[in-house]
Amino acid sequence: MFLSGVIEGFYGPPWTTAERHAAFDQMAAWGLDTYLYCPKDDLHHRAIWREPYGAADVATMAALIEACHARGLRFLYGIGPGLDIRYGDPADREALHARAAQMLTIGIDGLAVLFDDIPDRIDERDLARWGSLAGAQADVANELLPRVRAHTPGARVLFCPTPYCGRMVAAGHGGAGYLDALGAALHQDIGVFWTGPDIVSAEIGVDHMQDIARRLRRPPILWDNLHANDYDGRRVLLGPYAGRPLALRDEVAGILTNPNTEFPLDFMALRTLSLYLRADGTWDPRAAWLAALREWLPSFETVGGPIEFDDLVLLADCYYLPCEEGPRAEALLARAHLALADTSASWREHATACLGEATRLRDLCGRLATLKQRPLFHALSRRIWDLREELDLLVRAVEARLATTDGTVAFRSDFHLPRTYRGGTAARLQRLLTQHPDGTFTVQVP
Ligand code: GDL
């Protein structure tokens, strides 16, 4: 049975109950069928995985599961014991079974045992017993399967490996031969998550998935981090579901997206995934994206009147995909480069064109502060503040250049002062090491 839907599986503040209900509404309306609850920062998910929920949390979770079921969706619960589990310890096994039983009692449709983002250590005794980390982890999941099914016939058990993408396997994470050992040891009915060639995969090909399926001895379930933004606080990902051919759907046992931490910014991720899953024949991510963006537009009403569709395209192109800006943002960047650095006879033309577009986008960022949907504004606020600051500086720089006769760029801004602008420890560390397009870093000599 193919699973399609959403993973609440990122780092950072978990969604609120109201946001989860809104996610369920969207999923039901758009034909997505599965929600996996596993926010990294629910303490009971990872840090204190042995401790059952208290009465108040149980009531909240039970109501959430009911709300999910009321929309006809499947509710899976994820638990991540890998930070400190002792694989061979019967008490740890019992703790895990007790957690599973508590969640099954309140109605979950399946349990996901997640071993991602943990040290790939295993103690000597466990290694001697199972021969590998993969063998030990598979044994934990295999032991759960009959218990889960005895409690809830038909419930699913899913598994996230410690190396969960091609790059990790190539680096030997989890130990040599991890995937093959897992494929051989894990019960055939247990589904396995996989994120593609990378943790955040710009592209995922059919050949890649077929190779992983062979090694795992089952088609994986794609845990897609394309729209996740928890690894970079300055960005949100509003682009289309892209970089996956339609034929990929036939190579996997499901596709679940783990999107932006801020739920109000996940409309495009969920909507374009749902369009991809239903597409016939060809998949044009940009066309699907433009259609989805039109659906999202009504959410952008401000107290000062509506945002135009074309404005929203420009804004969303600045927050597109992890490895790709949208075309309007690329055009703006190219124009900004010419406006500041071109030395040909036409630099003034470029500078004037750049001023128009940059000013428009800067002012749009300002106008968004009066969005009527305040949670949407709050989710965007810090990011568009950042963008606005940079656009404001760009406008000042271009204006300063236009005021010269020789086109040099050297100016000061009273609104971009040393230390308060681009200051702080993280920003200063960023300036110390410069990364080049091939990935290598060199030291920036001051
Ligand atoms: C990860 C984490 C996930 C996180 C994502 C993006 C998996 C299986 N685990 O490695 O929780 O949100 O990267 O940062 O993807």
- What is the chain's mean pLDDT, rounded? 97
Q: What is the pLDDT of residues 88-141, one digit of tens each?
A: 999 999 999 999 999 999 999 999 999 999 998 899 999 999 999 999 999 999
Rounded CA separation 257/239 (Å) = 13
Q: Which residue lies with its CA nearest to atom 1 of ligand 1?
A: 199
pTM assigned to the model: 0.97
Q: What is the pLDDT of residues 128-184, one digit of tens each?
A: 999 999 999 999 999 999 999 999 999 999 999 999 999 999 999 999 999 999 999
Q: What is the pLDDT of residues 222-254, one digit of tens each?
A: 999 999 999 999 999 999 999 999 999 999 999
- CB-ligand 1 contact for 202 (6 Å cutoff): no
Structure tokens at 332: 């703006």
CB distance 328 to 313 below 8 Å? yes
Three-class SS string for the chain? CCEEEEEECCCCCCCCHHHHHHHHHHHHHHCCCEEEECCCCCCCCCCCCCCCCCHHHHHHHHHHHHHHHHCCCEEEEEECHHHCCCCCCHHHHHHHHHHHHHHHHCCCCEEEEECCCCCCCCCHHHHHHHCCHHHHHHHHHHHHHHHHHHHCCCCEEEEECCCCCHHHHHCCCCCCCHHHHHHHHCCCCCEEEECCCCCCCCCCCHHHHHHHHHHHCCCCEEEECCCCCCCCCCCCCCCCCCCCCHHHHHHCCEEEECCCCCHHHCHHHHHHHHHHHHCCCCCCHHHHHHHHHHHHHHHHEECCEECCHHHHHHHHHCCCECCECCHHHHHHHHHHHHHHHCCCCCHHHHHHHHHHHHHHHHHHHHHHHHECCHHHHHHHHHHHHHHHHHHHHHHHHHHHHHCCCCCCCCCCCCCCCECCECCCHHHHHHHHEEECCCCCEEECCC
User: Which residues in 236-249 are b (16+ Cβ under 10 Å) and which e?
Assistant: bbbbbbbbbeeebb
Confidence check: pLDDT of 436 > 70: yes
Report the CATH number of the 309-415 domain.
1.20.58.240
Superfamily of domain 3-283: Glycosidases (3.20.20.80)
- The angle subtended at Cα 84 by Cα 83 and Cα 87, nearest 5°, is 110
Q: What is the pLDDT of residues 315-357, one digit of tens each?
A: 999 999 999 999 999 999 999 999 999 999 999 999 999 999 9
Confidence check: pLDDT of 27 > 80: yes
Distance 81 CA to ligand 1 centre (A): 15
Bridge partners (DSSP) listed for residue 156: 110
CB atoms within 10 A of CB 311: 18
- CB-ligand 1 contact for 330 (6 Å cutoff): no
Q: Which residue lies with its CA nearest to atom 7 of ligand 1?
A: 116
- CB-ligand 1 contact for 40 (6 Å cutoff): yes
Distance 421 CA to ligand 1 centre (A): 31
Rounded CA separation 267/365 (Å) = 19
Structure tokens at 164: 């969960």
Confidence check: pLDDT of 267 > 90: yes
pLDDT of residue 445: 76
CB distance 62 to 107 below 8 Å? yes
Q: What is the pLDDT of residues 40-98, one digit of tens each?
A: 999 999 999 999 999 999 999 999 999 999 999 999 999 999 999 999 999 999 999 99
- Ramachandran region of residue 290, left (φ > 0), alpha (ψ -120 to 50) or beta? alpha
Q: What is the pLDDT of residues 350-406, one digit of tens each?
A: 999 999 999 999 999 999 999 999 999 999 999 999 999 999 999 999 999 999 999
CB distance 145 to 69 below 8 Å? no
User: Residues 414-429: what's their mean pLDDT?
Assistant: 94
- CB-ligand 1 contact for 198 (6 Å cutoff): no
Rounded CA separation 160/205 (Å) = 20
Confidence check: pLDDT of 211 > 80: yes
Counting ligand 1 atoms within 8 A of each CB, the residue from 45, 165, 195, 323 with the most, and so the one to mutate, is 195
Distance 200 CA to ligand 1 centre (A): 8
* Ligand 1 atom closest to Cα of residue 164: 8
Confidence check: pLDDT of 37 > 70: yes
Rounded CA separation 19/26 (Å) = 11
Rounded CA separation 169/163 (Å) = 6
**Residue extents of the structural domains in the chain:** 3-283, 309-415
- CB-ligand 1 contact for 199 (6 Å cutoff): yes
Catalytic hit among 33, 41, 117, 198: 117
Q: What is the band of 446 on the pLDDT scale with cuts at 50, 70, 90?
A: low
The verdict on whether 25 is a catalytic residue reads no
Q: Which residue lies with its CA nearest to atom 13 of ligand 1?
A: 199
Distance 362 CA to ligand 1 centre (A): 32
Q: What is the band of 444 on the pLDDT scale with cuts at 50, 70, 90?
A: confident
Q: What is the band of 305 on the pLDDT scale with cuts at 50, 70, 90?
A: confident
Q: What is the band of 306 on the pLDDT scale with cuts at 50, 70, 90?
A: confident
